[in-house]
Amino acid sequence: MDAKAMFSFSYGLYVVSANDGENVGACLINTALQVTGDPLQVAVTLNKQNHTTQVVKAAEHFTLTVVSKTADMPFIGRFGFKSSADVDKFEGITTKTSLLFDPYTPEHACAMVCCAVVNTIDLGTHVMFIGEVCDAERVSDEEPMTYAYYHSVLKGKTPPKASSYIEGEDPTKPVVPVSAPKHHFRCNICGYVYETTDEELPADFRCPVCGVGPENFTKID
């Protein structure tokens, strides 16, 4: 079986968030879609190991923002490569509250939709939440970011917890200038490429996108 066939599917990038009254969770996902028009319903798929998944389960609602092409890797790293159990992902950025009291950021967002969970489907490693739309807002006129754009332009990697993750397969290829006199190291977690004149990364180096150390970088030139 050619697992690369799955790369032909089209995805977007979304931030899903929830507040259950005690905990707040927010994470980046690539599987969200409108499933019905009447009633208006949206489906999102989250990994069972995500802190946000447990918050959505407890809250029985979630808020979804559609990420725009204006988003950069630090923004994606904030929501995609860190856990809400460890950090406040909304710290330092513009934050609003949806009709269902979930936090969300209008930064790098095209639209916001908040939903009450009406059904939950166990998918093995993941959980699909079906939510009935309670409120929706067009946040900006920016173009939505596709997963293909994330891979080809931002050179981002697919996180292991993503629903589209395939072990051993990576559609991204690091691009290094042929005449570059410097060395390049690529983060094995998020795909960030660091340029330096040093042969090795310092022991205290941390990825500016996902925060991992030099042991998670591979020299690529």
Answer whether residue 192 shows pLDDT above 90.
Answer: no
pLDDT in tens, 66-110: 999 999 888 988 998 888 999 999 999 999 999 999 999 999 999
Which residue type is seen at 67? V
As a whole number, mean pLDDT of residues 203-211 equals: 86
Coil, strand or helix: which one is 147?
helix
What residues pair up with 153 in beta bridges, in sequence order?
none
Name residue, tokens 């991992």: 212
Separation between Cα atoms, residue 26 and residue 203, nearest integer Å: 30
Answer whether residue 131 shows pLDDT above 50.
Answer: yes
Q: Which residue has the higher pLDDT, 151 or 45?
A: 45
Answer whether residue 20 shows pLDDT above 80.
Answer: yes
Copy the structure tokens of residue 101.
């009291």
At 160, the pLDDT band (50, 70, 90 cuts) reads: very low
Q: Give the helix, strand, coil percentages of the chain, each rounded to 5.
A: 15, 35, 50
Domain ranges for the chain: 11-152, 183-219
Q: Rounded mean pLDDT of the chain?
A: 87
pTM: 0.77
Whether omega before 177 lies within 30 degrees of 0, making that bond cis, reads no
Which segments within 123-179 are labelled E, that is strand? 126-138
Residue 65 near residue 112 (C-beta atoms within 8 A): yes
For residue 214, how many C-alpha atoms fall within 13 Å in the half-sphere facing its CB? 11
Q: Which residue has the higher pLDDT, 37 or 11?
A: 37
The CATH code belonging to domain 11-152 is 2.30.110.10
Q: Which residue has the higher pLDDT, 155 or 179?
A: 155
- Burial label for 149, CB within 10 Å (0-12, 13-18, 19+), is middle
Predicted confidence at residue 170, as pLDDT, reads: 55
pLDDT in tens, 37-75: 999 999 999 999 999 999 999 999 999 999 999 998 889
With the C-alpha atoms ordered 200, 192, 6, 126, is the resulting torsion angle positive or negative? positive
Predicted confidence at residue 196, as pLDDT, reads: 86
pLDDT in tens, 134-144: 999 999 999 99
Q: Which residue has the higher pLDDT, 206 or 65?
A: 65
Answer whether residue 166 shows pLDDT above 50.
Answer: no
As a whole number, mean pLDDT of residues 180-205 equals: 84
The CATH code belonging to domain 183-219 is 2.20.28.10
Name residue, tokens 């990697």: 157
Which residues fall within 8 angstroms of residue 62, CB to CB, at 6 or more apart?
A: 16, 17, 18, 44, 56, 100, 102, 114, 115, 117, 129, 131
Separation between Cα atoms, residue 181 and residue 196, nearest integer Å: 9
As a whole number, mean pLDDT of residues 114-120 equals: 98
Which residue type is seen at 94? T
